[in-house]
Structures are given as C-alpha cells and as structure tokens.
Amino acid sequence: MRKIIDPAPEIWAELAKRPTKNLEDLEPGILETFKLVQEQGDNALLQLADKYDGVKLSSLVASTEEIAAAESGVSQELKEAILQAYSNIQLFHTQQAEPVKQVETMFGVTCWRKSVPIEKVGLYIPGGTAPLFSTLLMLGVPARIAGCQELVLCTPPSKDGNIHPAILYTASLLGVSRIIKAGGAQAIAAMAFGTESVPPVYKIFGPGNQYVTVAKQLVSKAGVAIDLPAGPSEVLVMADETANPAFVAADLLSQAEHGPDSQVVLLASSEAVLAQVEQELEAQLKVLPRKEFAAKALNNSLGIVLGGVEEMLRFSNLYAPEHLILSVSDFEQLLDGITNAGSVFLGHYSPESAGDYASGTNHTLPTNGYARAYSGVSLDSFVKKITFQYITREGLQNIGQTIETMAEAEGLEAHKNAVSIRLNELNRV
C-alpha cells in the first residue's frame, strides 16, 4: 500500500485516479467474437467454451435434471443463508416500488407516470475464481419484483461442464429456468444478438472481467441497454482513533481479494492509525486463500493520512467510491455531506460484506468514479418509466394558447396547428 501523509489538496485529483488499463486494445478481439456468435450462433458458443473454458459441452442449456440435482449439492447451512439473504433483499427492494400518482397540472390536464417492467433481461453471473451466486440474488430478486417476463442467465461452466450448484439452486429459487453455459464476451454477445438457444434481451446486467466489461460497453452502442458502467471493485475506508485496526484491515482485504485490479483506499486520521492498520493487513493477508490476488491489489492501493474527518469526506466525495465505510466516531454528523458514493456503511459494526450478501441493499454498484453520476442497481433498473396524460375539452381550452404561443416562437407551425385545429372545432360547437 502506497503511503501518503497530508497531501496538498492540489494533488487530490491525481490521487483519486484509478489504475488504468487501455481497454480499447481489447475491442478488436471482442468484435471478432461478436461476429462469430452472430454468424454461427450456438456453434460459436460451443467452440469458445472449448477455447477459453477448456470444456467440450454437449449442450449449452442447463437441463431441468441438472437444476433439480443441484439442491443436493448445496449444504443445508448455505441454503438457509441464501433464503435469509433472499428475504432481506426482497423486503428492501419491494419497498422501492412507486405507486402511480395522477397530477392535475391545471384544470382538465392530468398527467401521471407508470413503471413498466423491461420484458426481457439478461443476467451475467461470473463463475470463474468465485461463483457469484450472491449476484444472482441481487439481480434476480428485483427483476422478479419488477415483473420482467423473461430472464436469461449466462454463467461459465467449470472444467467438467457443470455449473456451480449454488448458482443453480439460487436460479431455481428465483424461477430462472433459461440457464446458459457460456461466459465472457461471447455470453454478452449471445444475450445481445441471440442464438438458437439464447433469446436476445433488451437489457444486460451483471459484473465480469475486463472482457465482459468491454463487451457490455460495445453492445450498448448497438442498442442493447446495460445496467451501469462497471470496473474493478473498490472500497474507501475512513478511520479515526476510535476504529478497530483489525476491522479496518478486514474490510480492506474483503475488497482486495476480488482480484489484482481491485483498489482499496484507507483515509486515516493519523500516522499511528495507518501503521496499526498496516500491521493488521500483513497479519491477515498471510492466512487468506486468495492472498495472491489481495497482495497485488494492495500494491495498487493507497493509505492516506488527512487532518480530520472533514478533509476525509472531501477526498471521499472526489474519489466517489463504490463502497464507503465510515469507521469513525460521530459518523451521523457526516451523513448529509456524503454526495458521491455507491453504498455507505456506517460505524464499526457495518462491514461491507453485509451489503455484498445479505443486509438487503444491492451490491451491483458504480465503480471507477461513476458514483458521481450513477446509482447502483435497484428496482428502478428493471423498469421503464412511461408517462401518460389525458386532456379534456376544457383542459385543451385552458392550455391551448400556451402551446400555440410556444410552438409559434420556435417556428414549428405543425405543432401549433395540432392544437389550433382542435380549438377551432371546439369553438364551433
């Protein structure tokens, strides 16, 4: 972890920059994958599973027998954990539903907005170094609450051609039956353009590696919506003298273990706090199964000492972290000042892992500074907002002159005439 003591505000913007990769270099290869999938459909997915996943598949679609058998491959303890997380996530997201509210903007002019589910959505669930069945909950639960008619799940198979049983069990719990054994850019292409086994969808959700990230960006240019811009996972922890160094180190490592391109940032109130956390990082890192990933991520990470919590907050808002942890006293005093963050964890007993798995909030969040303008996935992500209006005869007479005047000022005579022709008829009655 790179240590920086009391940096001048003039260099904060430079410190807030993420480690960059030239992802544009990946585009030609991904476009070739797109072309292959568009031309050869299922056969392309089978070829690419052999090439990239090292598995020869007899079928791309997980069978009903495979899905049913998965339940026996999941321990009772894990099933109960998944069910508890499912319940919390469902409760939190159900409360996000907006009732239809009709507004009479003036007499005879009534407007309202209605949430309509996106009919066909694709869910991409990584299955490589970590089978993220938790992400399936985060995406599948709000999709079901929203009322999406068709859910297509793509996830890469293991070397034996199977999908991790926890992913299949969770899919079954959510009623997702169209499960495709495909990963990487080819899975994104299949959901965007369609194959014999994969129906095309209108919006694609889910995290992935750099190839998946670029593939999602490219299909969005082709007219298929995506959830949000996403990159490597990240966390920023604000810690003062009241923080427990072991807790802080554990939170930092929980993000670092995602992969070598993850970034973690510690804002400490003193050099003593930073030193204590560094000591804990070293001790905890030694026993992690994914310590190689975490160690590489720490090399890209920062430990910054700032003068106090107000300075920390200003830096955090500039950085706009995916996850923000306030491991400080009197965190309540800072809440109104938080303007840029994906998801916020308050106090010493709110680990970021809670949001990743089971507290109820969604863990699909904007990274790479996109929290300055984007929200995380929510129920709204799975619906379109359609506006309606109804204007009575009296309403048109009330608002008509306003419309005519504005249309004429813009030189749009046909717009004006669409009102005038109706008003002339009403005046003849």
pLDDT, mean of each 10-residue run, the chain (429 residues): 96 90 88 98 97 94 95 96 98 97 98 98 87 96 98 95 96 96 97 98 94 94 92 94 98 93 95 97 95 92 95 98 97 97 98 97 95 97 98 98 98 98 93
Q: What is the pLDDT of residue 22?
A: 78
Q: Where are the domains of the chain?
A: 2-15+232-360, 23-100+117-226, 392-428
Q: What is the pLDDT of residue 130?
A: 75
Q: What is the pLDDT of residue 84?
A: 98
Whether CATH 3.40.50.1980 fits 23-100+117-226: yes
Could you report how far apart the first and last alpha carbons of the chain are, in Å? Answer: 80
The fold adopted by the segment(s) 392-428 is: 1.20.5
23-100+117-226 and 392-428 agree in CATH topology? no
Query: Binding site, residues?
Result: 124, 186, 209, 233, 255, 258, 323, 356, 410, 415
* 322 labelled catalytic: yes
- C-alpha 178/C-alpha 83 separation (Å) is 21
Q: What is the pLDDT of residue 108?
A: 98
Among candidate residues 343, 333, 329, the one with its CA nearest the CA of residue 244: 329
The token pair at 141 is: 């639960």
Task: Classify domain 2-15+232-360 at the CATH superfamily level.
Answer: Nitrogenase molybdenum iron protein domain (3.40.50.1980)
- Of these residues, 322, 352, 363, 394, which one is catalytic? 322
> Are the beta carbons of 123 and 178 closer than 8 angstroms?
no
pTM: 0.94
Among candidate residues 370, 360, 363, the one with its CA nearest the CA of residue 320: 370
Q: What is the pLDDT of residue 354?
A: 98
- Of these residues, 93, 164, 323, 363, which one is catalytic? 323
Would the CA dihedral through 367, 372, 373, 377 be positive or negative? positive
DSSP state letter for 307: S
